[in-house]
């Protein structure tokens, strides 16, 4: 019983952190996905940056992709910077789903996750709304820095 109570407290703390970071009105799906990403070591500031970048758009899919990338071995810093940048460029859930599907397939075929991510970004970034003045090379050359 003590272990269960401790586990529930930890989850409740993550949900509270997620709720504050994704304010003003996160959905249940966003809170659940954010709790998962926090468990993987992504800092709360990344959640805040994602909210700012997405404005009122749902973050459930981008948060799910972020969790998946980190779980597959992409560094927290690199995955966080890339997801925030994709949101700033206007990526929609379909873009995140396509990127995640392609990275997953590449990893199953034996590619390193970060190598696959770099390759697959080249096919996603040019199709984003705000990519006219930027390129996949710009995104990849950005020095990943951990959000504070």
Q: What is the pLDDT of residues 77-106, one digit of tens each?
A: 999 999 999 999 999 999 999 999 999 999
What value does the mean pLDDT take over residues 6-14?
A: 96
Q: Give percent of the chain with pLDDT exceeding 70.
A: 88
Q: What is the pLDDT of residue 96?
A: 95
* Residue 15 pLDDT exceeds 60: yes
User: Does 136 or 85 have the greater pLDDT score?
Assistant: 85
Q: What is the pLDDT of residue 143?
A: 43
* Residue 145 pLDDT exceeds 90: no
What value does the mean pLDDT take over residues 47-71?
A: 95
Alpha-carbon Rg for the chain in angstroms: 15
Q: What is the pLDDT of residue 131?
A: 56
Q: What is the pLDDT of residues 31-57, one digit of tens each?
A: 999 999 999 999 999 999 999 999 889
Q: What is the pLDDT of residue 132?
A: 43
Rounded to two decimals, the pTM is 0.83
What value does the mean pLDDT take over residues 125-137?
A: 65
Residue-averaged pLDDT of the chain: 89
Q: Give percent of the chain with pLDDT exceeding 90.
A: 80
């Amino acid at each position: 019983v003590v272990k269960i109570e401790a586990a529930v407290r930890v989850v409740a703390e993550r949900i509270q952190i997620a709720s504050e970071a994704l304010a003003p009105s996160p959905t249940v799906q966003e809170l659940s996905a954010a709790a998962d990403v926090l468990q993987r070591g992504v800092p709360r500031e990344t959640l805040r940056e994602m909210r700012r970048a997405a404005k009122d758009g749902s973050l459930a899919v981008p948060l799910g992709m972020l969790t998946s990338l980190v779980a597959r071995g992409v560094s927290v810093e690199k995955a966080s910077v890339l997801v925030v940048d994709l949101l700033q460029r206007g990526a929609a859930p379909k873009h995140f789903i396509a990127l995640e599907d392609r990275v997953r397939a590449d990893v199953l075929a034996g590619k390193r996750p970060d190598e696959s991510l770099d390759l697959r970004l080249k096919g996603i970034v040019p199709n984003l709304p705000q990519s006219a003045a930027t390129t996949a090379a710009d995104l990849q050359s950005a020095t990943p820095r951990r959000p504070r």
